[in-house]
C-alpha cells in the first residue's frame, strides 16, 4: 500500500460516555424509530385525556383510522425510490466547507428505514386499538359497524401482523425469501383490503349520506391513490432486458447491461422471475461509457444459477436507487473498505474520481476470482490501492488497516462494503475511535 504506514498501532476505543451515540442501540436508525414512537405516544396521551377518544359514549373511530393511515403512509412512502433519491440528493447538497459534525450526521441519510419501521409499528398498534374499538361498538350496539367491516378489518390486521412478524430481524435473515414474498403478496392484498375497508367504513359511518360525496371530501381517502401509485410505480417500469455475462471464475460473474446508464452510487434490482424473487446489486457505470456492470458472487441458489446457467435476459423494475456509498461527496476524502464482491459498489467511485479515495480490498485470489481485467482496472484508477489476498496473506484486521489509512492519509470518513458482521465491526471500530464510518444496515 503505497505511502501507508501499516505499523500504526490501533488505539483503544474512546471512553464509553464519549461514544454512547455511536453504539448500535443509539444508531440514527433507532433514533428515527424512537422519534416516531414518541410522537405517537404523545398523540395517545392527548387522546386519553383532552381528546377523549375513548369514552362511555363511544370511541373516536375516525381519529383512530386517520392515525393508522398517517403512520402507514409514512412507512410506505419512505421506501419509494424517487423519495429515497431525493433524500440522498438533499443530504449531499452540503458543501465540504461545513463543519464535519454536521456532514457526518447528514451522511446517515441511509438510516431513513427507521421511519419505515417506526411507522409500521405505530400503524399496527393503532390498528389494534381501532379494531378493538370497532368490536366494542358492535358488541355494545352503538351502531355504525357492520359485520362486513369487522371481517375486512380483522383480515387486514392479520396480514399486517404477519408482515411484521416476518420482518423481525431473526426471522427475516433466516427466511429472507419468505420475508420478501410475504411483504410483496401480503402487501398487495393489504392494499386492496384498505380500499375495501375505506369504502365500507365510510358507508357504515354515514348511512344516510351520498357515499361518493363522503369519499371525495375525505383526506384519508385521497391518500389511498397516492399509496397505490407509490407501490405500483416500480412495477409500471417492469421490463425484460438483455444481459451479457462474463464468468471469470466459478465464484463470480460480471453482468453487462446497455439499456441505460445509471449514476455512481446506485443499485439495480434484477430477477429471473419477477413475481417470485428479486436481488439488488450495485451499478458500476464507467465515465464516458454507455451502460453499466454488476458483479454477482455465488452466495446461494439464485446466484449459483446465474453463474452456472447464465440467462440472456433478466427483468428489471423501478429506477436506479441511491445507496450508502452515494454519501462520499460529503467528505474531502474517504477510505473505502471492501471485501469480496463488495468491490462492486466501490468501483464506480474509484472510476468517477469525484472525491480523493483510498481503497482497502480484502478478497480471496482477486485475479483468479474476478479476472485480470477487473483488477487491472482498479489499479489503473487507484495505483495505491491495497489489495489483500486472503489466500496468500490470511484474514486481515480491517479495523486496524482502516484506522492506519485514515491517520496516514488524513481521510475524513470510512465507508465499508462487506457482509453484515464485518461491516458492523469496521463501522463500530471506527466510530468508537471518533472517525465517521458508514455501511449498510440490513434493515430490509
Tell me the pTM: 0.90
Question: Is 140's pLDDT higher than 70?
Answer: yes
| Residue with cell string 414512537 | 37
In the prediction, which pLDDT does 390 show? 92
Question: Is 259's pLDDT higher than 50?
Answer: yes
* Rounded Cα–Cα distance for residues 236 and 319 (Å): 11
Question: Of 22-26, 143-147, 328-332, which has the strongest mean pLDDT?
Answer: 328-332
In the prediction, which pLDDT does 1 show? 42
Question: Is 432's pLDDT higher than 70?
Answer: yes
DSSP, residue by residue, 185-208: IIHHHHHHHHHHHHHHHHHHH-TT
Ordered by start, the domain boundaries in the chain are 21-236, 239-317, 324-439
Mean pLDDT of all residues in 80-103 = 95
Q: Which of 93-102, 125-134, 189-198, 203-212 has the lowest mean pLDDT?
A: 203-212
- Residue, of 201 and 142, whose pLDDT is higher: 201
DSSP, residue by residue, 270-328: EEEETTTEEEEEE-B--TT-SSEEEEEE--SHHHHHHHHS--SEEEE-S--EE-GGGGG
Q: 190-225: per-residue pLDDT in tens? A: 999 999 999 999 998 888 888 888 888 888 889 999
Question: Is 442's pLDDT higher than 80?
Answer: no
Regarding the domain with residue range 239-317, which homologous superfamily does it belong to in the CATH classification? Answer: Translation factors (2.40.30.10)
In the prediction, which pLDDT does 412 show? 95
Question: Is 431's pLDDT higher than 60?
Answer: yes
Mean pLDDT of all residues in 151-165 = 95
Q: What percent of the chain has pLDDT over 90?
A: 65
Q: Does CATH number 3.30.390.30 belong to domain 324-439?
A: no
In the prediction, which pLDDT does 6 show? 55
Q: Which of 3-17, 65-79, 202-216, 373-387 has the lowest mean pLDDT?
A: 3-17
* Rounded Cα–Cα distance for residues 342 and 161 (Å): 34
Residue 438, judged by CB atoms within 10 A of its CB (0-12, 13-18, 19+), counts as buried
- Sort strands 357-363 and 386-389 into parallel, antiparallel or unpaired: parallel
In the prediction, which pLDDT does 2 show? 46
112 close to 32: Cβ distance less than 8 angstroms: yes
Question: Is 416's pLDDT higher than 90?
Answer: yes
In the prediction, which pLDDT does 300 show? 77
C-alpha cell recorded at residue 363: 478478497
Query: Does the CA dihedral 309-260-185-322 come out positive or negative?
Result: positive
Amino acid at each position: 500500500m503505497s505511502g501507508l504506514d501499516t505499523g500504526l498501532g490501533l488505539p483503544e476505543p474512546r471512553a464509553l460516555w464519549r461514544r454512547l451515540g455511536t453504539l448500535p442501540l443509539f444508531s440514527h436508525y433507532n433514533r428515527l424509530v424512537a422519534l416516531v414512537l414518541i410522537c405517537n405516544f404523545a398523540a395517545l396521551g392527548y387522546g386519553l385525556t383532552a381528546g377523549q377518544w375513548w369514552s362511555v359514549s363511544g370511541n373516536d373511530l375516525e381519529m383512530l383510522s386517520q392515525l393508522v393511515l398517517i403512520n402507514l403512509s409514512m412507512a410506505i412512502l419512505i421506501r419509494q425510490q424517487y423519495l429515497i433519491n431525493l433524500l440522498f440528493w438533499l443530504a449531499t447538497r452540503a458543501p465540504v466547507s461545513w463543519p464535519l459534525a454536521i456532514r457526518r450526521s447528514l451522511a446517515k441519510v441511509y438510516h431513513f428505514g427507521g421511519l419505515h419501521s417506526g411507522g409500521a409499528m405505530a400503524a399496527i398498534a393503532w390498528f389494534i386499538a381501532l379494531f378493538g374499538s370497532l368490536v366494542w361498538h358492535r358488541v355494545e350496539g352503538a351502531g355504525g359497524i357492520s359485520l362486513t367491516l369487522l371481517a375486512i378489518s380483522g383480515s387486514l390486521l392479520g396480514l399486517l401482523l404477519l408482515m411484521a412478524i416476518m420482518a423481525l430481524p431473526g426471522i427475516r435473515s433466516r427466511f429472507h425469501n419468505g420475508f420478501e414474498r410475504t411483504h410483496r403478496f401480503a402487501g398487495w392484498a393489504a392494499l386492496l383490503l384498505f380500499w375495501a375497508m375505506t369504502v365500507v367504513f365510510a358507508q357504515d359511518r354515514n348511512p344516510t349520506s351520498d357515499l361518493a360525496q363522503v369519499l371525495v371530501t375525505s383526506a384519508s381517502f385521497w391518500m389511498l391513490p397516492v399509496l397505490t401509485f407509490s407501490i405500483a410505480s416500480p412495477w409500471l417500469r417492469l421490463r425484460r432486458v438483455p444481459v451479457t455475462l462474463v464468468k471469470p471464475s466459478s465464484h463470480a460473474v460480471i453482468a453487462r447491461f446497455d439499456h441505460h446508464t445509471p449514476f455512481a452510487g446506485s443499485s439495480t434490482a434484477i430477477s429471473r422471475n419477477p413475481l417470485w424473487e428479486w436481488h439488488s446489486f450495485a451499478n458500476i457505470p464507467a465515465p464516458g461509457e454507455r451502460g453499466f456492470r454488476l458483479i454477482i458472487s455465488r452466495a446461494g441458489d439464485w446466484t449459483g444459477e446465474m453463474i452456472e446457467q447464465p440467462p440472456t435476459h433478466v427483468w428489471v423494475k423501478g429506477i436506479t436507487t441511491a445507496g450508502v456509498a452515494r454519501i462520499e461527496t460529503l467528505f474531502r476524502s474517504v477510505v473505502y473498505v471492501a471485501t469480496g464482491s463488495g468491490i462492486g459498489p466501490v468501483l464506480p467511485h474509484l472510476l468517477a474520481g469525484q472525491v480523493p479515495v483510498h481503497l482497502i480490498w480484502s478478497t480471496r485470489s482477486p485475479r483468479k476470482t474476478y479476472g485480470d481485467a477487473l483488477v487491472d482496472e482498479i489499479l489503473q484508477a487507484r495505483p495505491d490501492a491495497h489489495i489483500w489476498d486472503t489466500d496468500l496473506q490470511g484474514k486481515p484486521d480491517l479495523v486496524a488497516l482502516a484506522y492506519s489509512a485514515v491517520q496516514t492519509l488524513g481521510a475524513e470518513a470510512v465507508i465499508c462494503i462487506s457482509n453484515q458482521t464485518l461491516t458492523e465491526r469496521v463501522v463500530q471500530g471506527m466510530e468508537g475511535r471518533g472517525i465517521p464510518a458508514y455501511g449498510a444496515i440490513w434493515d430490509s
